[in-house]
Chains A and B, each alone.
Chain A
Amino acid sequence: MKRLLAAAVLALGLAGVAHAAIDTYVFANDAERARFRELTQELRCPKCQNQDIADSNAPIAADLRKEIFRLLEEGKDDQQIIDFMVDRYGDFVRYKPALNAKTALLWFGPAGLLLAGLVVMAVIVRRRRAAPTDGSDALSPEERKRLDHLLEAKTDD
């Protein structure tokens, strides 16, 4: 009984690890394995769009992993493999899209917005600083008189 329980607990432990898609590829060396991991994590699954192809269980993702493995074995470099995928599936498959006219807004948009915000802030701060502090803030003679009166009334108590 105890042994059965232990086996069940161990099996539960395994279940946690089993969520990632598993294929068995034999790599020539660790560097190649690392490249495979990097590439599959940088390419997006066209079917299940919020997963990379390393993570996805969709048949198309498995096909693409197989294809990447094949291309690695053929000795293609990372850029060639990414180009191969982009040729077929478009810029969309890259989680790190290439920088071109179509994606410029994507790359520079956030920085541009930040910059615009900073400029607006700087303008506002400068204007406030430049606003006249003499005269407008100072009390007019009537106000001064009234203030004196109020203060005196206070001390009289």
Chain B
Amino acid sequence: MRRGLMLVPLALFLLVVVFLYRGLYLNPAELPSAMIGKPFPEFSLPSVQGDKTLTRADLLGKPALVNVWGTWCISCRVEHPVLNKLAEQGVLIYGIDYKDDNAAALKWLAEFHNPYQLNIRDDDGNLGLNLGVYGAPETFFIDAKGVIRDKYVGVIDEAVWREQLAARYQALIDEARP
């Protein structure tokens, strides 16, 4: 009994150590998204290229990545070649050009190649706000019915795709198969 009591402080100490150790490797910039499991918000916005009006219905039908980007976003430039590569492999990617200058966006797409199937022009960031975007790049995973299933904040590089995201995308594809 006595001896057991004496171990209590040690046990508490070890518990604290475990928590603090875990804390060392947590990324505080990665917030759990409140949007996971919710339908992609309704919108009606122009496209970056051409003069189409895009709505939520345009995103439905197939699982896809919805990538929030902007020409002002330096890390998006780092991410862009990876998106190009993914698009080449057949990954369906939609873009949201978030709070950007459209001329700059067109130039960017012409210069760096366009991996996006559709590109939504979100000039005043309203769609971004409804999505809970707080910095680009952010990438949402939507399923065929337009429900947000996952979200990745930060640059998708090849390692991130290979180790974390490819499996999630594949799971959505498998799910959509009849």
Where the two chains meet, the residues of A that have a C-beta atom closer than 8 Å to any C-beta of B are 46-47, 49, 59-60, 63-64, 67, 86-92
Contacts and interface: CB of A to CB of B under 8 A. Distances in A.
Contact-residue size bin, chain B (C-beta under 8 Å from the other chain): 10 to 19
B135 interface: yes
B134 interface: yes
A89 B31 contact: yes
B170 interface: no
Contact of A90 (B29, B32, B130): B32
B19 to A, nearest CB: 12
Given A46-B134, A60-B134, A87 B129 contact: no
Interface of B: 28-29, 31-35, 99, 125, 129-135
B25 to A, nearest CB: 17
Given A46-B132, A46-B134, 5 more contacts: A49-B29, A86-B34, A89-B31, A90-B31, A90-B32
A113 to B, nearest CB: 10
B31 A88 contact: no
Task: Please classify the interface of chain B as helix (H, G, I), strand (E, B), loop, or mixed, using the class held by over half of its residues.
Answer: loop
Nearest to A87: B34
A90 B28 contact: no
A4 B34 CA distance: 54
Shortest Cβ-Cβ A-B pairs, 10 listed: A46-B134, A90-B34, A88-B132, A89-B132, A60-B134, A47-B134, A92-B31, A47-B135, A63-B125, A90-B32
B131 A92 contact: no
A88 B34 contact: yes
A63 B135 contact: no
A46 B134 CA distance: 6
Contacts of A47: 134-135
A90 B28 CA distance: 14
19 contacts: A46-B134, A46-B135, A47-B134, A49-B28, A49-B29, A59-B99, A60-B133, A60-B134, A60-B135, A63-B129, A88-B130, A89-B34, A89-B132, A89-B134, A90-B31, A90-B33, A90-B132, A92-B31, A92-B32
A64 B35 CA distance: 17
Nearest to B38: A87
Contacts of B125: 63
Contacts of A49: 28-29
A82 to B, nearest CB: 13
Given A47-B134, A47-B135, A60-B135, A88 B32 contact: no
Contacts of B35: 88
B109 to A, nearest CB: 22
A67 B129 contact: yes
Contacts of A86: 34
Contacts of B33: 90
Nearest to B33: A90
A46 B31 contact: yes
A126 to B, nearest CB: 14
B101 to A, nearest CB: 14
Contacts of A90: 31-34, 132
Contacts of B99: 59
